[in-house]
Structure 1
Amino acid sequence: MLTVLAFIVTLGVLVTIHEYGHYWVAKRCGVKVLTFSIGFGKPLLQWQRGDTTWQLALLPLGGYVRMLDEREAAVPAADLARSFNRQHPLKKMAVVVAGPLANLLLACGLYWGLNAWGVDALRPVAGEVRAGSPAAMAGMANGDEIVRVGDTAIVSWERLFVALIDEAGSDEPLRLTVHRAGVGERQIELPPVAVRDINPQLLGRLGLSPVPVLKRVSQVTPGSAAERAGFRQHDEIVAFNGQPVPSWSAFQVQVGASAGKAAKITVRRDGAQLELTATPERSSVDGRTVGRLGLVPTVDEAGWAAQRIRLEYGPLEALGQGLDKAWTYARITLVMFGRMLIAQAPLDQISGPVTIAVYAGESAKAGWSTYLDYLALISLSLAVLNLLPVPVLDGGHLLYHTAELLTGRPVPARVEEIGQRLGLVLLLALMALALFNDFNRFVPG
């Protein structure tokens, strides 16, 4: 129920803000607005206010503002001056761009408010560097703090992820400046192939995790190879086939390389050492066969508590931080979309209503600040994508009105009709892809 409620609130807020932007500017440009609708289809609730019918409709996946327009129906002579099609191209452009601009302002306002209130964050410290990963091969170790990506200063784990995405896709090595206690700062380089594919697992593929873990078992999966071998909760991993185990990630690598092979694992239990024999089960990961035991590590609670910080800013600094974050995310959204078009980023990153609903519900569970941050991100994405020059979207209409401004005459109805059809086909294809991705993410295979 929380997921459904969060989804309805998210869409309701975003659609209302977007359409109200169109409505507010249209009224001030002297255009008569006939209908303000949240949702499509059959009206569930209607009321009249001035010239405008306000309504809530059956399908809550969007909304619209219908303005007086001679291209849709005959207009009484007394209302011709208030018809949208009779307005100057600059007024038309202002009405069209007002919807995305309203979403952009909402995102900036939310980021400003959150920064002024204070944001819980994680220090950009590698709690665990996976053995054999690109980060480990570049020389990173547990406890290293990433202070810069290229020339960008890093203050939190979120900023690290954003900076890596911003740099990803380049053919140049990725430069990181890291700080190690007792050693100081130094630069390392990651090969470009390590950050070429952009997805939410980017940091994991680099071998970086913010969560520090101990070599102690917190959970043994029932029915697993580990349970059959006699592992227990609180066992501490000491050695693998006689070789000392320096970290949990090194232990994972050894287990992964031993699929189907018996291994002698030394553990410390109640102050004494004992040797267990276990055969990791075969498992397929990204087309590779790896070994699995069924053990979950213990989080280093003291280290994890040290990772948590709270970022607080004064009103003016909070505004600057909010605008910077909005600009960065908007730019990355456009870059990601462009990379998808030229096959440099996977199409499975396109999300639909199911993903939005799930993440809205999860963010609502995490607290109001997390939910508002998510709401700002979706509002920002809606603003950017709506401004793409695709017929049916606001950006397509903006393109038509720009052409009218430059040529002095409206785009021919036939051209606009063809554009609308092509835009609708593209939009339906994107919706189908988004739903397909949703299905793959959340429906068990």
Structure 2
Amino acid sequence: MHNLTTLLAFVVTLGILVSIHEYGHYWVARRCGIKVLVFSIGFGKPLLKWQRGDTQWQLAAIPLGGYVKMLDEREAPVPAGERQLAFNTQHPLKKMAVVLAGPLANLLLALVLLIGINVYGFDTIKPVVGQVAAGSLAAESGLRVGDEVVQVGGRRIDTWDGFFLQMLKQAYSESTPLTVRRPGQGEITLDLPLARLPARPLSPALMRVIGVAPAPTETRLTKVEEGSPAAKAGLRADDLLLRVNGEDASDGSALVRLAARGDGQPLQITVRRGAQQFTLPVTPVMMDKEGQRAPRIGVALSTGIDDARLRALRIQQRYGWLEAPYVATLQLWDEARITLSVFGHMLIGRESVKQVSGPLTIAQVAGESAEMGFQPFIQFLVVISLSLGIMNLLPVPVLDGGHLMYHTAELLTGRPVSATVEAIGQRIGLVFLLALMSLALFNDFHRFLFG
């Protein structure tokens, strides 16, 4: 059943994105007075075809793309009476409009879907820090569990997704100011020196490298050693750890860090036992463990996700009809900038080319998002449609961006690009696409075989 869902979701995804893209070309071509001979979804032998006006509409055997074939003297002889309908005889601005229409149709689809999501409402979580890794950049910068991030680099945010998106935009900054709302202290500003990171991946891994995660944790004492400082203070197995010296200790790191100081000062450890809450003073002493002598209190800890607190952080974000288009435009602009930034950093070697995904990964994610529900699938369509629109605008021959480059040259010089130059460009473009597809397929198989 899972494989069937994946296959269907993949076919629906390609069908929607390719149809919208090609219809953009078709619609503008017809408005520019250009005769369209074939509108095809898929490549290869037609499985289904029908005639409507001058155009043959068809579904072909290989559903990995599509094309719009226009009347063109460069491809076949054109009757003198129809020469004004041929693509190659049009003004360069009309050619540019036809070429641009496909990618713009994908960007418009992404925007419309995003507006719909914003109006309908989507599930997300508040930008509250649930975990701070010990020794991480976030910990060294003073970020604490329970801090609510309200501003990143001067941009206000209200969801964890917004926090992540802004961190991606700031990833290659020397440092980024974070404004957080801390219980009992109000809003304070911290400095996150991103230049100190060993790596700055423009992916979800960035938050892990920084050392923060949204899911709140809870830590219980699984064992209290007999005769240890913890046992003498009254701590018991299964006590829920809340705070140490007033600092949130839900992930256990505060207890480990403060106990290791070994300054002889008692730790004020707050725990919950059943319905009761206690604060007990516990002084670490030097103890042997696994051949090492260090300050300890004699407990073993177990940390897991606190489902109750995570549920409390979940919210539904919704915007009105007037506000939704503005918000969606900003979101799409941010995501487009990040997509281009990732591509640019891959070209100069800052980002790993392992991020390039092919049809197998797209199919897998399509299936997973479809199984999660209608809204996640629509959000997936937004990402893929945006990526498709941007990729087709790249100035690579055989892509729309390459043709746009040719027609721009024609507009500036007053004459079409020569057939020789176009042929050379086609070869370069095909080599680039084949290399890109080979890399994408290699990454796909590597993920499936090795994870």
Does TM-score exceed 0.5, indicating one fold?
yes
Q: Please, which of 55, 66, 78 is the counterpart of residue 81 of structure 2?
A: 78
Where in structure 2 are the equivalents of 1:204-223 lying within 5 Å? 204-216=208-220
Q: Distance in 2 between matches of 1:249 and 1:83?
A: 71
Change beyond 3 A, Cα 1:61–1:181: same
Corresponding position of 2:92? 89
Amino acid at match of 2:188: R
Corresponding position of 2:397? 391
Shift of 1:15: 0.3
Q: Distance in 1 between matches of 2:100 and 2:384?
A: 18
Extract unaligned runs of 5+ from structure 2: 223-236, 242-247, 258-271, 277-287, 291-300
SS at match of 2:433: helix
Shift of 1:365: 1.7
CA contact (8 A) 2:396 2:402 kept: yes
Q: Please, which of 174, 181, 184 is the counterpart of residue 182 of structure 1?
A: 184
Shift of 1:74: 1.1
CA contact (8 A) 1:129 1:249 kept: no
The Cα RMSD (Å) is 2.7
- Asked whether 1:55 is paired with 2:61, we answer no
Amino acid at match of 2:185: V
CA contact (8 A) 1:128 1:249 kept: no
Q: Distance in 1 between matches of 2:372 and 2:289?
A: 38
- Asked whether 1:436 is paired with 2:433, we answer no
Amino acid at match of 2:115: W
Q: Please, which of 302, 320, 327 is the counterpart of residue 314 of structure 1?
A: 320
Deviations 1:16-54 (A, max 9, x none): 000000001111111111111111112111111111111
Q: Distance in 2 between matches of 1:68 and 1:296?
A: 70
Shift of 1:250: 2.8
Q: Please, which of 132, 155, 161 is the counterpart of residue 152 of structure 1?
A: 155
Corresponding position of 1:328? 334
Structure having the higher Rg: 2
CA contact (8 A) 2:128 2:146 kept: yes
Shift of 1:297: 4.3
Corresponding position of 1:291? none
CA contact (8 A) 2:44 2:62 kept: yes
Q: Distance in 2 between matches of 1:174 and 1:331?
A: 18
Corresponding position of 2:146? 143
CA contact (8 A) 1:198 1:346 kept: no
Extract unaligned runs of 5+ from structure 1: 219-233, 239-244, 255-267, 272-276, 280-294
Q: Please, which of 347, 350, 357 is the counterpart of residue 356 of structure 2?
A: 350
Corresponding position of 1:33? 36
- Asked whether 1:305 is paired with 2:305, we answer no
Corresponding position of 1:121? 124
Q: Distance in 2 between matches of 1:95 and 1:34?
A: 15
SS at match of 1:357: helix
CA contact (8 A) 2:177 2:190 kept: yes
Q: Distance in 1 between matches of 2:196 and 2:339?
A: 21
Shift of 1:216: 4.2
Shift of 1:442: 2.2
Deviations 1:119-159 (A, max 9, x none): 21110111111222211111111111111111111111111
CA contact (8 A) 1:131 1:249 kept: no
Q: Please, which of 6, 14, 17 is the counterpart of residue 14 of structure 1?
A: 17
CA contact (8 A) 1:19 1:64 kept: yes
Amino acid at match of 2:186: G
Q: Please, which of 406, 422, 430 is the counterpart of residue 424 of structure 1?
A: 430
Corresponding position of 1:403? 409
Aligned positions, number: 393
Corresponding position of 1:223? none
